[in-house]
Amino acid sequence: MFRPTTQQCVSKLPLAIILLSGAFLRCYALDARSPWWDEMLVTMASRHSLAYIFSLSSTLEAHPPLYYLLIKAVTLVSSSDEALRFLSALFGTLSIYLLYRIAREFIDENTALLAAAFLCVNPLHLILSRGIRPYALHTALFLLALWCIARLTKDGRWRDLFLLCGVNLLLFWIHYLTYYIVAAQGLILAVNMLVKSSPVTRKQFFVFCTVTAIFALPIYIWFVRPSLAYQLGSVHHYPLLKVLYFIIYDLWVSSFFVFIGRSLADLIYHPVFGSLLTDFMYVLPLVGCVAFRFRKPKFATICLTLGIIPLVIILIMAPGYPLRIWHVTWITPLVSLCAAMAFFWLPGRKAAAPLLAAGGALFILIFQHALYYEPAPGQSTDFKLTAARLRPELPPGALIADASPSGFFSAMSWYFDQSPPNPLRVQSLGPDTSPAMLHLLSGFILDDERMNADPYVRATMGDLGHVTQTHNATIYTVPLDRQPIMTIGEQLGTFTLPVSPKEFYSHVFRLQNVRTVPTQILPPWYIVLDGNHTMEGGVVATQNNTDASFEFVLENGIGDKPLRFSTELRYLNSGAGSRIGLFARFDDEPFTELAGSAGPDRNRIFRANFSRAKPFHRLTLQVRMYCNDATAGNYGDNLRSLLFQGLAVTVAGLETAPPVSSAQGANSRPAP
């Protein structure tokens, strides 16, 4: 049995300290800070079907669906913030180890330890290793690909080529920028193929190109191309120089050196010395790049090519796209490696590396604790805290309407679903509900989307009612003047059921699991499917894959006179497998389907005409809705992909209208 010697254990101690420091920084207090909006998008999508996730990745989401599928698998065990973030923390820690192994093999042990220590305390890498986003996983896979291609160009072994293709396959399913990274890999292999001293052969280059095409084209056709068409066609674009500034400036800011320089400058309180110190820290990674190129020219060329070429391609192919530093987070290990190379001359690097990791971790825990491990004061996206404070204000059975930015209800429902019943989903109202109080709930998801719902509530309800402010949400509690039954008088005429909260909740006879949502003007950054930044309002189901319904009742106030009814229902149904139908019955007779729509449906109106010669006391019109979650129609959910937008019923004497029963519209059926 192999037993390591004391000397071997001591030699591994620096790496162990670095890995333990990195793991602690990434795993400590994972639930302390509420998920930000982009994290919530992942969590909310994970509760939906596979069809929804695939639809999301081909429309609203730029990235292919593998990370969403992994998070969905995690939710089968736990839906807590710690569990969902642990996946990123695990891959973030793995990246530290992979960088160490790569640098040890192609540079030396001391540089490898120092590079791992820098990545351990790299601020950007730390933040992204504590989030429910694919960037930590993408960085770990990028390092595996770097390891494989560096070995391939060194030894020319087929095993490394096949491993590289396998890692690239995973990368393709994780991040759309993989195409640019693989293009840089192809350039590296092409140059090596032309160099006589390189072991890379033409056959290997051909196999790489062929396998890459087989892997990449289907993903590009299914997900990346349609997704980027939506992304580039609907978001606000930034000037090219501003995008370049974001990349260069934020990359250096993500360097541990600049982070320490700024922190020390803040502690010193000396403007001149603090500024000089910060500028000096900016220069160090650049010095490391030069040293790297001279000491290990071949490996440095590979690293710099994989770091620079994708950025160049991005700027050429998608100029002005609102790129952010986390989109190119795979470069953070390369920055850490360059920083380590700046100290190639320093003796005692092996001892300095664990001290840097442990000391940097201690520095972060003491001086930067609030930045990573505490709720951000005034953070508008603190959904967890908002949900906790909203729960007592929304008792079971509360009648709730939406007056919020799109996505806020979905975020609240994510937390409410973890401790059912969810008051936002369980909605019911009957004719005898008294007193009926309507709670209009408003909130915001981003600092620049703080919504003041006062004008909307005042315009739709006539009064703000009782206003309750709780963290970043506002509840308007307004009494309803219920008139659930409308009477057909001698004048006959048209009766309507509008979708504004006051009219709908006042005149609806009975409802089950539906609520009203307002028309909303979306901000420019919001990704939309059709380029229209106006999101229509109406009545939606409160949850997917569940029957929802409401009823509109007309009472006969003119006796036995034969009547003819013409109905017109306005709707939107863009979701595959979603259904909306109009049913009618007289008194206690069975419901008869008048017309219906099965999505996706381009029609927006269906009409149905029917008559009644027999005496009756009451006509009940029922709208049934079923919102399938197979189609992504919005961030976080697709409930707005199925909208009821109004019902009009015209009543006339039978002798004044043709007695023929008819129906018009999508899947309309004439009443018998």
Token pair for 165: 């293709």
Determine the straight-line distance between the first and last CA of the chain, rounded to whole angstroms.
85
Instruction: State pLDDT tens for residues 513-541.
Output: 999 998 875 555 455 555 555 678 899 99
* Predicted pLDDT of residue 324: 67
How much is the average pLDDT of 289-305?
A: 90
Amino acid identity, residue 342? A
Calpha distance 195→193 (Å, rounded): 6
Task: From residue 159, give the alpha-carbon distance in Å to each of 71, 97, 169, 192.
Answer: 30, 22, 15, 17
| List of residues 6+ apart from 118 with CB closer than 8 A | 256, 336, 339, 340, 356
Which of 305-319, 583-597, 640-654 has the lowest average pLDDT?
Answer: 305-319
Sign (positive or negative) of CA dihedral 443, 449, 454, 456: negative
Which of 180-184, 280-284, 501-505, 595-599 has the lowest average pLDDT?
Answer: 280-284
Calpha distance 253→396 (Å, rounded): 48
Cα atoms in the 13 Å half-sphere on the side-chain side of 565: 27
Instruction: State pLDDT tens for residues 80-94.
Output: 999 999 999 999 999
Calpha distance 506→479 (Å, rounded): 10
Phi, psi of 48 (to 5 degrees): -95, 180
Sign (positive or negative) of CA dihedral 308, 19, 83, 128: negative
Judged by DSSP in three states, 75 sits in helix
Judged on CB neighbours under 10 Å (0-12, 13-18, 19+), 347 is: exposed
Q: Are 111 and 349 in contact (CB under 8 A)?
A: yes
Judged by DSSP in three states, 597 sits in strand
Domain boundaries, the chain: 22-373, 378-480, 483-672
Calpha distance 176→141 (Å, rounded): 14
Q: Where is pLDDT greater, at 428 or 286? A: 428
**pLDDT tier at 446, thresholds 50, 70, 90:** low
* Predicted pLDDT of residue 154: 94
Instruction: State pLDDT tens for residues 222-279.
Output: 888 887 766 655 444 444 444 444 444 444 444 444 444 444 444 444 444 445 555 5
Instruction: State pLDDT tens for residues 2-23.
Output: 566 666 666 789 999 999 999 9
Q: Judge whether residue 663 has pLDDT over 60.
A: no
Task: From residue 392, give the alpha-carbon distance in Å to each of 80, 289, 387.
Answer: 21, 57, 9
Q: Judge whether residue 29 has pLDDT over 70.
A: yes
CATH topology of domain 483-672: Jelly Rolls (2.60.120)
Strands 642-653, 563-573: pairing is antiparallel
Task: From residue 372, give the alpha-carbon distance in Å to each of 34, 36, 258, 509, 574.
Answer: 11, 13, 17, 51, 41
CA dihedral 247, 248, 251, 252 (to 10 degrees): -160
Judged by DSSP in three states, 277 sits in helix
| List of residues 6+ apart from 93 with CB closer than 8 A | 19, 22, 23, 26, 27, 129
Beta-carbon count within 10 A of 471 CB: 17
Calpha distance 668→649 (Å, rounded): 16
Name the region of 348 (left: φ>0; alpha: ψ -120 to 50; beta: rest): left
Instruction: State pLDDT tens for residues 631-652.
Output: 887 767 889 899 999 999 999 8
Q: Provide the greatest CA pair distance for the chain.
A: 105
* Selection from 104, 94, 179, 73 nearest residue 139 by Cα: 94
**pLDDT tier at 73, thresholds 50, 70, 90:** very high
Enter the DSSP assignment of 656: G
Percentage of the chain modeled with pLDDT above 90: 45
Calpha distance 377→366 (Å, rounded): 18
Calpha distance 518→501 (Å, rounded): 9
* Predicted pLDDT of residue 144: 97
Judged by DSSP in three states, 439 sits in strand
Beta-carbon count within 10 A of 39 CB: 22
Q: Judge whether residue 394 has pLDDT over 80.
A: yes
pTM: 0.87
